[in-house]
Amino acid sequence: MTDTVLSIRNISKSFGGIHAVRDVSFDVQKGEVLGLIGPNGSGKSTLFNCVLGQLKPDTGEVRVNDQTVAGMRAAALNKLGVGRTFQQLSVFPQMSVLENIILAGQEHQGTMATRLFGPSDAGLTAEADQMIKFFRLEHLRDEMAGSLSYGQQKLVDAAMAFMAGPSLVLLDEPAGGVNLTMLANLKDRLRAYNREHGTTFVVIEHNMEFVMSLCTRIIVLAEGAIIAEGTPDEIRSNQQVIDAYLGG
């Protein structure tokens, strides 16, 4: 029996004349931390959006835990245990950090009726506080999310992706704009999560130091197609990748 969490088959997506993603296929195994790298505009974010229901791919098929998710709405996919972050900051600015994180979990609690007639925090305050502690955001708990610094908002954003206990998390440039200490912290958090919960990750990132040290396997996209795949060491020494992306 294989433990494939995410299976991507022949995904293509064009915008007018631009072939953003060309016939991409790969599998992600349970517990794996997969890095997705490539130059700007190589189609990484578009691929995420095709996988997660924000965009409809032109061709191809996506399976999560052996279930096809074609045409599934993002909310339904999230309920299947798939969390994500966006490349752009995506917190709810006029809600407190705590409220943001409760929101991220509440739709997985009870039914529409219990979410109307039950407790206003959907019984999630304790769990949200734990998540806040895990991401070391305690001092910001009751601040308005939109008033935090960029890096702090990034952490809240990441914390939200984990709130519902997903089995698969796709992160789009989690390290962008985050300072070194915070970055080390974030890497720590992701590793700890992976270890403690067996959560599978796919991470898009331009920070090579971050990707190479975090990921167990790396896929390189260029102009919408996969040009290389391997361990961090293999990727670092791959001539094609150096030419297309890593430079001299």
Ligand X SMILES: Nc1ncnc2c1ncn2[C@@H]1O[C@H](COP(=O)(O)OP(=O)(O)OP(=O)(O)O)[C@@H](O)[C@H]1O
Does 42 help bind ligand X (rule: CB under 6 A)? yes
Q: Which of 144, 182, 208, 227 binds another protein (CB under 8 A)?
A: 144
Where in 30-89 is the site for Mg ion (CB under 5 A)?
45, 87
Q: Would you say 179 and 19 are in contact if contact means Cβ atoms under 8 Å apart? A: no
Q: Strand 217-222 to strand 225-230: parallel, antiparallel, or no bridges (unpaired)?
A: antiparallel
Measured from the CB atom, the residue of 104 and 186 that comes closer to another protein is: 104
Does 125 help bind Mg ion (rule: CB under 5 A)? no
Half-sphere exposure of 104 (CA within 13 A, CB side): 32
107 binds, among Mg ion, ligand X, another protein, none (CB under 5 to 8 A by kind): another protein
Residues with Cβ within 8 Å of residue 224, at least 6 apart in sequence: 19, 20, 21, 22, 24, 42, 43, 46
Total number of residues that touch ligand X (CB under 6 A): 12
Measured from the CB atom, the residue of 19 and 30 that comes closer to ligand X is: 19
Distance of CA 93 to the CA centre of its chain: 20
Does 74 help bind another protein (rule: CB under 8 A)? yes
Please provide the DSSP assignment of 109-158 as one string. Answer: SS-HHHHHHS-TTTT-HHHHHHHHHHTT-GGGTTSBGGGS-HHHHHHHHH
Q: Would you say 45 and 172 are in contact if contact means Cβ atoms under 8 Å apart? A: yes
28 binds, among ligand X, another protein, Mg ion, none (CB under 5 to 8 A by kind): none
Measured from the CB atom, the residue of 115 and 136 that comes closer to another protein is: 115
Site for another protein, rule CB under 8 A: 45, 49, 52, 54-55, 73-75, 78-79, 83-84, 86, 88-95, 99, 102-104, 106-109, 112, 115-118, 120-122, 143-144, 146-147, 150, 153, 160, 163-164
